[in-house]
């Protein structure tokens, strides 16, 4: 089996596991279980809590002691078993803790999958910048396929979405043990102190202004990403309460409509090498932030009728908003850090985006939406919600333009 295909299969199922439930869990929470909105923000913050320490910890383990592909497989098997238990949960508090455990196992696998792919490509003398995006794009396709399966089988508000995700995760975990070996790169380095042993010396990355500012903006953009994941599908589904749109295709196939965002990703991932070489990392990341402004702004004024084009365009813009920061950011880390701390650096990137960013974005948004944008009957003012998100993204973009330095990177 050829290397590119093996890595492509890994990438496909890596995000299939997530796509089977991430976008539709809001429908399960609000529609099937009918739990409160303020508590829902905490569910998405589990990704943030897990990402604060697990990607970094697993990055250290992969850098020092255990092959990355083996650690990757163990985590997926444990995460899959946890997801299979989710349908047994019957109260929001327990749901939070079970999802947190699932995310503790899942979140570090995103960075580890990048490390495994990068290591394998370099080992066989392939070009990471050229060959990784076409592999990674299949991760997005996996996410899309999972969303479509969940929606078309009538499970977008059903507990079955967790069974789909759990079985896929266990299968991926078993498969990962056949992947090319990704040995620890730091184990041959002399350990002079407990700080070196634990990988804490790698925090010197924050001593580099360019990397430090990159990580801070990763956190701020991470908040935007989790907002659209948490509320996008339920926003479209809520049009069923408007008699004009109750029987529209947008309501019936809200998850499939949202999957246009991931379809767009596949195109923008393939465009990343061109944009990076032509514009450089700062411009590409700035394009991402402006795209977030349009993502939220178009949602604010769109509807399933004469405003359908805005909803569709918002989903298309999402591809640039997500890929131009997350994928380019991962490649940026790969080219700006040394081999012995590379897995740690990828974990740190994940910690800032899906960790602190997700915690801040989901925790704050959950309460703000409940207090300021939800009426006594429980109906949400989606237009004002999306406008407030768009203003946030614009502020981040302006700050980035002035504060992020675009000097040539120096490997640390």
Residues 322-334 have a mean pLDDT of 81
Strands (E), 260-386: none
Q: How far is Cα 86 from Cα 376, in angstroms, rounded to an integer?
A: 30
Q: Label residue 190 by pLDDT band (50, 70, 90).
A: very low
pLDDT grade, residue 223 (50/70/90)? confident
Question: pLDDT tens, 137-187?
Answer: 888 889 989 988 988 888 888 889 999 999 999 999 999 898 888 777 665
d(CA 105, CA 24): 20
Instruction: Report the pLDDT value the prediction gives residue 37, as an integer from 0 to 100.
Output: 66
Residue with the bigger pLDDT between 346 and 260: it is: 260
Reported as a pLDDT band with limits 50, 70 and 90, residue 209 is confident
pLDDT for the residue 170: 96
- % the chain with pLDDT above 70: 89
CATH code assigned to 11-179+200-403: 1.20.1250.20
Whether this prediction's pTM lies above 0.85 is answered by no
What does pLDDT average to over the chain?
83
Q: How far separated are the first and last CA of the chain, in Å rounded?
A: 35
Residue 2 Cα distances to 10, 72, 178, angstroms: 13, 20, 12
pLDDT at 171: 95
User: How confident is the model at residue 38, as a pLDDT?
Assistant: 63
pLDDT score for 189: 45
SS3 184: coil
Statement: residue 379 has pLDDT above 90? no
pLDDT digits (tens, 9 = 90+) for 15-46: 999 999 988 888 788 777 877 766 776 777 78
Cα pseudo-dihedral 362, 363, 366, 367, rounded to 10: -160
Between 251 and 405, name the one with better pLDDT.
251
């Amino acid at each position: 089996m050829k290397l590119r295909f093996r890595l492509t299969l890994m990438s496909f199922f890596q995000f299939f596991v997530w796509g089977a439930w991430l976008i539709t869990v809001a429908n399960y929470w609000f529609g099937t279980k009918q739990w409160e909105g303020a508590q829902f923000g905490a569910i998405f913050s589990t990704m943030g809590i897990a990402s604060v320490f697990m990607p970094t910890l697993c990055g250290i383990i992969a850098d020092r002691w255990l092959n990355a592909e083996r650690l990757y497989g163990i985590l997926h098997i444990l995460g899959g078993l946890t997801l299979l238990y989710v349908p047994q949960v019957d109260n929001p508090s327990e749901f939070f803790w079970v999802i947190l455990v699932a995310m503790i196992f899942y979140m570090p696998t995103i960075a580890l999958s990048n490390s495994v792919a990068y290591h394998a490509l370099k080992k066989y003398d392939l070009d990471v910048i050229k060959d990784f995006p076409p592999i990674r794009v299949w991760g997005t396709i996996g996410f899309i396929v999972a969303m479509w399966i969940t929606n078309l089988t009538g499970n977008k508000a059903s507990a079955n979405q967790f069974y789909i995700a759990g079985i896929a995760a266990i299968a991926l975990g078993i498969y990962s043990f056949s992947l090319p070996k990704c040995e620890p790169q730091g184990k041959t380095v002399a350990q002079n102190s407990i700080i070196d042993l634990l990988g804490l010396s790698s925090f010197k990355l924050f001593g580099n202004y360019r990397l430090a500012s990159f990580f801070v903006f990763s956190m701020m953009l991470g908040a935007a990403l989790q907002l659209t994941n948490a509320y996008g599908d339920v926003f479209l589904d809520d049009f069923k309460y408007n008699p004009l749109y109750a029987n529209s295709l947008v309501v019936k196939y809200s998850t499939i409509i949202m999957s246009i965002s991931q379809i767009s990703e596949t195109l923008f991932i393939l465009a990343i090498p061109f944009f990076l070489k032509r514009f450089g990392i700062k411009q590409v990341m700035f394009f991402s932030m402006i795209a977030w402004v349009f993502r939220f702004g178009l949602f604010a004024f769109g509807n399933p009728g004469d405003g359908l084009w805005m909803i569709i365009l918002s989903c298309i813009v999402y591809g640039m908003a997500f890929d131009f920061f997350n994928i380019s950011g991962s490649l940026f880390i790969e080219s700006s850090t040394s081999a012995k701390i590379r897995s740690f650096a990828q974990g740190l990137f994940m910690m800032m985006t899906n960790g602190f960013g997700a915690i801040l974005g989901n925790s704050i948004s959950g309460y703000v939406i409940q207090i300021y944008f939800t009426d006594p009957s429980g109906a949400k003012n989606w237009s004002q919600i999306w406008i407030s998100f768009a203003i946030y993204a614009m502020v981040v973009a302006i700050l980035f333009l002035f504060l992020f330095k675009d000097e040539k990177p120096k490997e640390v």
